[in-house]
Amino acid sequence: MKYFGRIMGTMLLAGLLSLCAVGVSAESAQLTGTETAVTAQAGVTASGICGEKLTWEFFDDGELVISGEGKMFSCYYDMPWYSVKDSVSKVTINNGVTDIGPFAFCEFTGLTSVSIPDSVVAIGAYSFERCSSLPSVVIPNSVSFIGDYAFNECTGLSSAAIPHSVTATGFGVFSNCTGLTSVDIPNSLTSIEAYMFRNCTKLTNVSVPEGVTSIGKFAFYGCTGLTNVDLPDTLTSIGYASFDTCEKLTSIHIPDNVTTLDDYAFNECTGLTGISLPNKVTSIGKYAFYGCTSMTTISLPKSVTFIGECAFRKCSGLTSIDIPIKVSSIGYETFSNCEALTNITVPKNVASIGNSAFFFCKSLESVTVLSKTAVYAENVFYGTPKNFTLYGYEGSTTQAYAEANGHKFVVIEEPDAPELPGDISGDGTLNIDDALALFQYSILPDVYPVDYIWEMDFTGDGEVNIDDALLLFQHSMLPDVYPLF
């Protein structure tokens, strides 16, 4: 009986322990069920490889996770996660990934968040193109290159900071980001590449840092909200249509080292009222200031040798402009439809005046042509007022053109050429007084005019300036050491 009692006691204890175990198992099962539910809620629904040492997983909460080491494959022909791309709202790239592949997340229209680790050194071409819901992106300081159109048409992107680690970019990186209001450009870049901020219509202020030497074609084309641009002293070239249709841009300072304004550079900048061109500019491209209707005056430096066709066409507010002496031709419709222009002088070096050069300049009262042999195309002054007058030398091609086309012509007299170029005082010698007079002219030509000034280009650089005055002074002191002729 005792033994039986022990057995019964043991069985009873075992039963109690079993009940306790069942309770624990039930509680454990309940916890496990919760974790399973969470796992199911954020479970992996698709996965694969996306690089030699990279894998990807897509979770049913919308997150795409990239893990491993090295470069992603290019997704141009085969996007490994194509079947789920429309469901992705978040992209997490884990540390170890070095390159985001071209087209990797192109047209992820539901993407609202992306995490890029410090291991990434390059962001591939078109990698985030048309991610229209992406509001922001943090590019880490490890990135040195951003490829063509990487964020093109990310219309929800409101700001962008390019880190100082980036030394080069492709074309159109932030092109068509119509929501972009601000951008930080690092001084590690030497160029603003073509199409970089094209059609960023909400961009209002841009500061291009020192170190940048060129602005590529269409770089700020269609930035209709742009009101201010600061350009660095290191800049040497402004590319084709780079500020085309920046209609709210009212003024801009062109740095001293710029030598060329390419075609369409400021085309249809309708709000532009003033612009300062440096003395190193030699070429103004065709349509460079076409349709700048608010611009009333512009000062062209003496260094300019070329003005392209239609360069100032439809500058309807332009009242005056001086054509530099080195310019050799006036092209097709260069000043056509400049309706407020009243008077203009064509310098002596101009060899040809193109078709419709002053077409429908409705307020043009007179044009003085100092060239004796300029070749005229058709309809040069078509649409000018009835009282329009051409001034030129007797026997010149200008006189012949005026008579053939029914324009009034007035002869201008040539001043007597000095027997000794540089003898401004007229005393028959070259001395310090002549050098002083030429110096005064070089500083204040309107206050101290000099006849036959073009005869005094002693340095042969195509213009008369302080260098010629200095050479004349040196010649007056030591004629054998500093000859002029």
Query: Which CATH number does the domain housing residue 253 bear?
Result: 3.80.10.10
Structurally, the chain folds into a number of domains equal to 4
Does residue 419 sit within a domain? no
Q: With 50 as the cut, is the pLDDT of residue 18 above it?
A: no
- With respect to residue 332, please indicate whether it lies within any of the assigned structural domains: no
Mean pLDDT across the stretch 230-235?
Answer: 97
Read off the pLDDT of each residue in 49-67 and give the average, rounded to a whole number: 97
| Phi, psi of 461, rounded to the nearest 5 degrees | -95, 5
- Amino acid code (one letter) for 272: L
Residue 77, pLDDT > 80, answer yes
Phi first, then psi, for residue 85 (nearest 5°) are -60, -35
Same domain as 181, residue 51:
yes
pLDDT tens digit sequence for 279-317 = 899 999 999 999 999 999 898 988 899 999 999 999 999
The identity of residue 315, as a single letter, is C
> Hey, CA dihedral for 417, 418, 422, 424, is it positive or negative?
negative
Q: Are the CB atoms for 389 and 408 separated by under 8 Å?
A: yes
Identify the pLDDT of residue 348. Answer: 87
Backbone dihedral angles phi then psi of residue 392, each to the nearest 5 degrees: -170, 180
Percent of the chain scoring above 70 in pLDDT: 90
Q: Quick one: 403 and 446 in the same domain?
A: no
Per-residue model confidence (pLDDT) at position 314: 98
User: Does 22 fall in a domain?
Assistant: no
Question: What pLDDT shows up at residue 39?
Answer: 38
Give the best-scoring range by mean pLDDT among 39-53, 165-179, 292-306: 165-179
**Ranges 15-29, 250-264, 396-410, 438-452: which has the least confidence:** 15-29
Across the chain, mean pLDDT equals: 89
Q: Out of 98-112, 120-134, 259-273, 422-436, which region has the weakest mean confidence (pLDDT)? A: 422-436
346 and 310 together in one domain: no
Q: Are residues 446 and 401 in the same domain?
A: no
Secondary structure of the chain: what % helix, strand, coil (to 5)? 15, 20, 65
Q: Of 34-48, 263-277, 366-380, 419-433, which gets the smallest average pLDDT?
A: 34-48
Is 426 part of any domain?
no
Let me know whether 219 and 267 are in one domain. yes
In this predicted structure, what is the pLDDT of residue 417?
A: 62
Lookup: tokens for 392: 């030129």
Residues 114, 150, single domain; the answer is: yes
Is 363 a member of any domain? Answer: yes
| CA atoms of 249 and 270, how far apart (whole Å) | 8
pLDDT, average across residues 415-423: 72
Task: Kindly state the average pLDDT of the residues 216-239.
Answer: 97
Average pLDDT over residues 133-161: 97
Q: Is 124 exposed, middle or buried (0-12, 13-18, 19+ CB in 10 A)?
A: buried
- For the ranges 120-124, 281-285, 400-404, 479-483, the lowest mean pLDDT is seen at 479-483
pLDDT at 244 over 80: yes
**Residue 415: pLDDT band by 50, 70, 90 thresholds?**
low
Structure-block tokens of residue 111: 């993407």
Q: Is the pLDDT of residue 66 over 80?
A: yes
Cα-trace Rg, the chain: 37
Whole-number pLDDT of residue 345 = 95
pLDDT score recorded for residue 303: 87
Same domain membership, residue 466 and residue 359: no
How do beta strands 63-68 and 145-146 pair?
unpaired
Q: How confident is the model at residue 416 (pLDDT cuts 50, 70, 90)?
A: low
Using DSSP's 3-state secondary structure scheme, residue 179 falls into coil
Q: Span 126-142, mean pLDDT?
A: 97
Residue 35 has pLDDT above 60, yes or no: no
Of the residues 156, 189, 222, which one is the last residue of a structural domain? 189
Alpha carbons 48 and 64: distance in angstroms, whole number: 11
Among candidate residues 287, 255, 254, 302, the one with its CA nearest the CA of residue 466? 302
Query: Are 357 and 452 in a shared domain?
Result: no
11 has a pLDDT exceeding 60: no
Residues 88, 114 contacting (CB under 8 angstroms): no
More confident call, 348 vs 183: 183
Q: What is the pLDDT, as a whole number, of residue 307?
A: 97
Q: Average of pLDDT values for 347-374?
A: 96
375-384 average pLDDT score: 96
Domain shared by 49 and 170, yes or no:
yes
Asked whether the predicted pLDDT for residue 429 surpasses 90, the reply is no
End-of-domain residue from the set 327, 357, 385: 327
Determine, yes or no, domain membership for 380. Answer: yes
Confidence of residue 42 (pLDDT cuts 50, 70, 90): low
pLDDT at residue 480, rounded to an integer: 85
Query: Looking at the structure, do residues 182 and 64 belong to the same domain, yes or no?
Result: yes
Q: Give strand pairing partners of 260.
A: 237, 283
Residues 57 and 154 in one domain: yes
Q: Are residues 311 and 178 in the same domain?
A: no
Domain membership of residue 178 as a residue range = 43-189
Provide the pLDDT for residue 15: 43
